[in-house]
Structures are given as C-alpha cells and as structure tokens.
Structure 1
Amino acid sequence: MKFRISIVLSLLVINFSSVSAQVATKSKTYNFDPKKTEELRVRDGLPNLFQKLKAGKEVKIGYIGGSITNGGLWREKSLEWFKSEFPTAKISQINAAIGGTGPEYGACRINNHLLVHNPDMVFIEYRVNNGGAYQGRALEGLIPQIWKNNPNTEICIVYTISEGMIEDIKKGNQTNAGVFMEPVANHYGITSIEFGLEVVKLLNENKLVFKKGDSPADGKIIFTHDGTHPVDAGHDIYRNVLVRSLKSIENFGTPGPNVIPAPLKDNAFSSASMVPVTSAKFSGGWQTADVGDEVDINADLTDKNGGDKTLFDKAMKTTTVGDSFTLNWDGFLLGLTTILESKGAIQVEVTTDGGPSKIVSLNSRNGGTQTKYEFFDEIKAGSHTTTIKLVKLAPGKVFQIGQFLVVNK
C-alpha cells in the first residue's frame, strides 16, 4: 500500500461513466466489491510511472501473463501509444508473458524472467489463465516480489475476456477467477482495468461478433477466431480501453515508494522461486535432455517465451520405470516443469519426509503432449525431502523434468 500526501480532489478529472467515483486521499484499504466489475478502479494510481514518462526518463514497461499478452497485439499497441504520447521518454518493454501459464507459475518465475530487468511498470494479465489459482494467493505473491525488487515500480492488473466470461460481465459481475483477484488489488492499492466491459458493450450494440462464425459479420468487428485470443481489431479495443483509463489518471496520486502491507492471506506466494533441476539427486538411468539452443534464462523473453528453452532452462529425462530423484527443499508447495501427456500416460509416486506415498498422473490440459508445469499437494511449511519415482510410462513417451517450483512463506 502506498502512503502518499493527498492531493486536491478537484485536480482529478475522470470523464467517462464506467469509472468509479474515487477520492484522492490515500487510505489503508479499498472496499470495491470484488463480485462486481468496472472499467477502471484507480486505487493508488500510477504516479511513479507518469512522473518518469513526463520527465523524459528511461522507462521499462514489463508485461507478465498468458498468451493474450505474449503474442497479443495489445501489448505492442500499448507500447506504441506510450512512445507517441511521451516522445521524450526512452521507453522499452520486457515481455515476460508465457502462453498457457497462470499466476502460480508466474509467482515462481517473476524474479528470473521479469524483475531481473528492473521494470518501472508491470502489467499483470492473468484472469483468463486462472487468476484465481489458490484462491488468489498465487496472484498476491507477485506484488511483494515486485516491490521488494524496486518499491517505486508501479503495477496495473488488466482483465482480458474469454467466451465463458460474457454472461457474467454482461451483468456487471466479476468472473470466477476475478473475484479472487480484486481483493488483492484492494489490499495492495493496485489499479485494475477491465477490458471486457467494452467488448460486451459492443456485442450488445450488435457492433461486434465475439467469435468468427457466431453470427453474420457484415460491418461488424470480429473479436476472436477461437473465443479467447483477439484478432487485430480486438486488440484495438483492449488498447483503447487501456489508453483512456491511463489518460484519465495520469495526474492522480503523489510519487513515492510503495510500502508492502501484511499479507492478505496466509501462505501467499510471495516467496516463490525456481530451483535448478541440478539441485536434485538422480538415480542412474537419467540423462540430460536437449531443450534446444542455449538461452540465458535471465534474458528478455520477447520472442523466446513459447518453447521448451524458457520453461526448462535445463532438463533431465528418463524412459525407465523405477527411476527416481530426490530433492531437499524449504516451503509448503512443490512443483516442477515437465512434459504432460494424456491421462494415465505418465504416473509418478510422490513421497515426502518418509510419509505415505501418493500416485500422481501427469495429465495434460488438452489431452495431448504439453510442455507445462505440475504442482503437488500443499503441506506444512518447513524443510522437506521429496522423492519422486516413475511408476508408469506409456510406450514412446518420456518422463522429462526441468526447473523445480518452490513456494515458501
């Protein structure tokens, strides 16, 4: 939460109807209804960002989220606007979004993939990719990590839309994932911007077809081809909502460092990290896996974040049932990057601290082969030793693992 000198309310001009009435006085908490959605909830605003932009300084804008941001044009279009609106500033981007990933993975990798570049601004886009993971604790974990790295970094949560969210947003309701994200924004004073309301407004006005083929499209905006990923015109809508929101708050707030409040929830992911695969002790049958050309895991992920190199960095593989590895770790939740297959194709036995073992099937999200990540069950925080043994492997498949995902208090 930022504790800043209040400004005169009359200096704040917000001139479109979807913006909530807000006061400039800094408060320790915000009480916006998490079950409802509005186009803009300013909260503490983004004064550090605009101060640097107007002063013509170097500004690094970071993006973290899923495929809508990774390959999505709203990111590029927003960057173009920043450069045209503030031509004297030296603006660059850090694209740390990875398709098909959520905030639970984002919290583990944000230091390696984004914060190493010391961004001045971070846009977080995770609602479509399960922003409510672990009841918002995963998303919450991002915020303290950003401010521990640099307390002057500003943060904005942006809400993109997929087909299954339309009915909720039509009623002015937040989505199933968003209801866990908005309490985080309230607690930490984070500005949030809802892209979906404008999309639904155009849909209601019969000016937009959400998914190509849903209805005749003559003279209408085609928003997506698949119900999730906007085409160019859809990203224009996202950009336009972002721009009018940012322009309305560019004079809001007083610059200064952000102060991290006590956690909103126990076991937030604020001490999540990635641990190299080489930290484990492997049985004899494992081999080093080829994950493509060498890439620095700390490199800017722009144009590098869609494949095995980023998710694995380095990896180990085996095709021998009975092979195992053991990892000593500290925390309450363990995961790893891995190759997921169809249900039952890869099964492992997980044993921690000599307790009862559990069989886990490494099932993909779409029924095919996916390079993703898997988290195991939460346990009591502390020092642990976990052994994972391969107990079933379908013909022609491989058990491959990369970085460990460790979440500590």
Structure 2
Amino acid sequence: MKQLIPLSILFFGIFLFPKLLNAQYIYNPKTTEELRTRSGLPNFFKKLKEGKDVKVGYIGGSITNGGLWRAKSIEWLKNEYPKANITQVNAAIGGTGPEYGACRIQNHLLNHNPDMVFIEYRVNNGGAYKGRALEGLIPQIWKNNPNTEICFIYTISKGMIPDISEGHQTNAGVNMEPVANHYGITSIEFGLEVVKLLKEDKLVFKKGDSPAKSKIIFSNDGTHPLEAGHNIYRDVLVRSLKAIENYGTTGPNLIPKPLKKNIFSGASLVPIKKAKFSSKWKDVDLGDEVAINDDLTDKNGGIKSLFVKAKKTETLGESFTIKWDGFLLGLTALLEEKGDIQIEVITDEGPSKIYDLKSRTGKTQSKYYFLNEIGAGSHTTTVKLIKLAPGKILQIGQFLVVDN
C-alpha cells in the first residue's frame, strides 16, 4: 500500500512519486492540451511489459461503442506488447452519458475486473450534473480494484471546433478536467490534432463543408468519425501512451475525499422486481435471454442491457411504488414525443410532480429518465400514469438509484 512520505521531502515527492501521494493537480480546466499525464498509468504498463493478462475496458457513447478507435487501440496494444494477453470489455452505449454510466458501470464493466479503463464522455455531456456524475465513476472503479488505471479520452464534435481552435476546453470538458486534477487522472485530447489539420486545410470536418479533393474527410455527420478520423484518434492515443509508458509509481490508487457533494459514487441499477406494480401491468417480451458479456453492446444492442426485464401498461391510473435509498431516482423507459406520456410522481407523501417522458429526438426511444434530485435518505416513490397518447404504452425497466 502506498504511504505518505515525510513533509521534509513532500515538495520533491510530488514530482518524483505523484501516484504515491495521489497528488492533486492544478492544470487549468478552461484550457486543453493533447496530453495531461498527471499520475500516469504505471500499473497498466507494468502488466503489459511483464507479458501478463491485461483487460482493457471502455465506457462512453457511440463514438467508442462502434467506433474504430477502440478496435485500433487494441490492435496497436497487441502489436506493441506481443507477450501480453490483451482482451477488451466494450461497455460503451450510444447516446448515453456519465449519469447513466455511473449507474451501470459495476454491472457492465467492473464485473469483468478491467486493468485499464478508458472513459469517453465529453461529446455525450461529460459535464452532466456539473461533473458529479463523471466523478462518481472513479471511486467505483478503484473500490472494485485499486490497481485499475483510468484515462479520460476527449473526442470532438463540430460544435466544439471554435473552443478547441483557441486552446479552450469545451462546455462539458470544464467539468471533467477538475475531476482529472483531483484524482490524478490522465487525459488525452483527440480534438486538437483534428483542428490542427482543419486549420492546415488538410481535413474536412463534415462531408460537404468544403471541397474534399486530397483532404481527409473526418465525418459524415459532424460527430462520428469515418475510418480516417479514427486513424487520427488512434495516432494521438498511441503517441500519448508511448510518451508516458515509463512514467509514474505503481501501486494501489487511493481514493481522496470527493471533489463535490453528492457525486454518483453509490449509483446502481435496481431490478424492476424491487417495485410493487398495480394490477394492469404486463411483462414485456424482450427476446431471448442473453447474458451481459465482454462485448455487451455489439452483441446485445442497447435494449436488453437497458431494461433487462420490463413491464408495460396501456391503462391510465396504473402505478408502481418503489422504496429506495439515495438522492436521485431514474427510470429506464420508452420515451415518446412531447406530451405523449405523462406521469405523476409522489415521494414520501410530499407534493405531486408531473413529468413528461419526452424523447430527445421526438421519436420513440428506449432510454433513461431521471427525476428531480431530493435530499439523501430512505424514500418511497409512487409513479402513476396520467396521460397516454393513442397507440402508445408506458414501458418501465430497471431503476437508476443514485447515492454516495
């Protein structure tokens, strides 16, 4: 176990043995750099160099789930460290952010005990809940295995170009970088290289933005890179990892006091069977039983891992009640166009609140929905269906319970 060193050498120790002290860093959260090493990834590189079994985990959104940078990073690691037995756990799910990731990381990723976790949430609102959701991932990872290393990966979407062009961090990133500073997490910025090539007129960010002759076409939609874009991501990752492969002190990572109050460190998925449903709910057929596995999103889509089991009703006035502990309750549900589904929520016999289960796209979405935050403690919440458009259903799956 790492121990604190005497105060007489504290100043020098911060620079010589940063992980030994879990030193907090003072990088400017409002600016961005390609690589901020902080405490580094020494445990990861030690296992690679020793030729041991190494499991690499990924959590984030669609850029990581189906994105080639993930596959290309594994391919490079296998070629660079051929003696190691390198496998991966793909726990990224498209269109999801760290608030959902904090609830499911134990089930979908940590149960596989990864040695290394790449977290990619900037495009998918890494600043959700002012960074408290993202921060909640870190203690969960280190409680599961204190030797697991963590790296924040910053991908880019078109709306981020102006900020990154000026060396500024993005709106979501300014809430992620303080977490990286506090916990000593390495962060790697993919966007700066993309913007550099754009400024040099060697790249078209979104197909159709400008003539593409002899240029790299980065994406079709302004967010999801084509293979050439993923090659850029891989190259930035590779040179960053090579730059720090001999940096840092191995040993368990210590968990400091939280940076903020009510971080999502106790977030979890709660099975639907924990709720008591009224009479006119039916079980939903979600297809064949498929266990969550090392490639959960590629082989299970998002539906099975989202709901696990689900119930549905088409009858107004039907309800369910759940007892839970924490400060925030979420639902996995089918979301529809605004006004199609409304629920009345009463917690602890308090005043009722009306929620519209509207999707972000205006179309049917299998998604998650968080209610308003309340005081931490033991609660009883009743949810009643009060409005339902013709032909629609209220479908509920597992619950998202956030505690710290």
Pairwise same-fold verdict (TM > 0.5): yes
CA contact (8 A) 1:162 1:227 kept: yes
Do residues 55 (structure 1) and 50 (structure 2) align? yes
Establish whether residue 273 from structure 1 lines up as the match of residue 259 from structure 2. Answer: no
- 2:160 is equivalent to residue 156 of structure 1: no
> Which of 223, 226, 246 is the aligned partner of 1:251?
246
C-alpha distance in 2 between matches for 1:302 and 1:350: 31
CA contact (8 A) 2:93 2:297 kept: no
In structure 1, the partner of 2:9 is: none
2:98 matched to which residue of 1?
A: 103
**C-alpha offsets along residues 140-178 of structure 1, whole Å, 9 cap, x if unaligned?**
000000000000000000000000000000000000000
Letter in 1 for 2:38: R
Of the candidates 183, 205, 210, which is equivalent to residue 205 of structure 2? Answer: 210
Identity %: 74
Q: Give the SS at the match of 2:346.
A: strand
- Whichever residue aligns with residue 97 of structure 2, its letter is G
Deviation at 1:3, TM superposition (A): 6.3
Please tell me whether residue 128 in structure 1 is matched to residue 123 in structure 2.
yes
1:285 correspondence with 2:280: yes
Q: Does 1:182 align with 2:192?
A: no
Task: Identify the residue that residue 8 of structure 2 maps to in structure 1.
Answer: none
Once the two structures are TM-superposed, the CA of residue 254 in structure 1 deviates from its matched residue by 1.3
* Counterpart for residue 39 of structure 1: 34
Q: Which runs of 5+ in 2 are unaligned?
A: 6-13
SS in 2 for 1:390: strand
Deviation for aligned residue 1:295: 1.6
Give the AA of the match of 1:79.
Answer: I
Q: Which residue of 2 aligns with 1:14?
A: none
**1:337-352 pair list within 5 angstroms:** 337-352=332-347
- C-alpha contact 1:4 1:253 (8 A) present in aligned 2: no
Q: Please report how far the alpha carbon of residue 304 of structure 1 lies from its aligned counterpart in structure 2 after TM superposition.
A: 2.8
What is the deviation of 1:307?
A: 2.8
Secondary structure at 2:386's aligned position in 1?
A: strand
Residue 360 (str. 1) matches residue 337 (str. 2): no
Name the CA shift for 1:359/1:312 in 2 (closer, same or farther; >3 Å): same
RMSD between aligned residues: 1.4
The TM-score normalised by the length of structure 2 is 0.95
Q: In structure 2, which of residues 389, 394, 397 is the aligned counterpart of residue 399 of structure 1? A: 394
Tell me the residue number matched to 1:30: 25
Give the 5 Å matches for 1:83-102. Answer: 83-102=78-97
Alignment of 1:378 onto 2:373: yes
Provide, for residues 61-113 of structure 1, a one-character-per-residue CA deviation record: whole Å limited to 9, x for no partner.
00000000000000000000000000000000000000000000000000000
In structure 2, C-alpha distance between the alignment counterparts of 1:55 and 1:302, rounded to whole Å: 31
Quote the Cα distance in structure 1 between the aligned partners of 2:250 and 2:3: 10
Provide the rounded CA distance (Å) in 2 between the counterparts of 1:307 and 1:90.
28
Distance 1:348 1:318, change over 3 A: same
Instruction: Please say if residues 208 and 220 of structure 1, whose CA atoms lie closer than 8 Å, have aligned partners that are also in contact.
Output: yes
8 Å contact from structure 2 (residues 33, 192) kept in 1: yes
- Aligned residue identity for 1:221: I
Query: What secondary structure, in the 3-state scheme, does the structure 1 residue paired with 2:171 have?
Result: coil
CA distance in 2, matches of 1:237, 1:299: 26
In structure 1, list runs of 5 or more residues that go unmatched.
6-21
Question: Could you say if the C-alpha distance between residues 386 and 2 of structure 1 is closer, same or farther in structure 2, counting changes exceeding 3 Å?
Answer: farther
Structure 1 equivalent of residue 255 of structure 2: 260
Aligned partner of 1:112 among 101, 104, 107: 107
- Among candidates 301, 304, 307, match of residue 309 of structure 1: 304
Shift of 1:302: 4.7
Tell me, in whole angstroms, the C-alpha distance in 2 between the residues paired with 1:2 and 1:265.
Answer: 24
1:227 deviates by 0.4
How far is 1:296 from its partner? 1.8
Question: C-alpha deviations, 1:363-396, integer Å up to 9, x for none?
Answer: 1011111111000000000000000000001111
Task: Report if the CA contact (8 A) 1:327-1:385 is conserved.
Answer: yes
- TM-superposed deviation, 1:301: 1.1
Q: Which amino acid is 1:101 matched to? A: T
SS at match of 1:94: strand
Distance (Å, rounded) in 2 between the aligned partners of 1:64 and 1:260: 20
1:331 aligns with 2:323: no
Structure 2 counterpart of 1:77: 72
- Any idea what the Cα deviations from partners look like across 1:46-69, whole Å, max 9, x if unmatched? 000000000000000000000000
> Per the alignment, in what secondary structure is the counterpart of residue 205 of structure 2?
strand
Counterpart contact for 1:295–1:313, Cα < 8 Å? no
**Residue 304 of structure 1: SS of its match in structure 2?**
helix
Give 1 or 2: higher helix fraction: 2
User: How far 1:253 moved relative to its partner?
Assistant: 0.6
Given that 1:138 and 1:268 are in contact with CA atoms closer than 8 Å, whether structure 2 keeps it comes out as: yes
Tell me which residue corresponds to 2:222.
Answer: 227
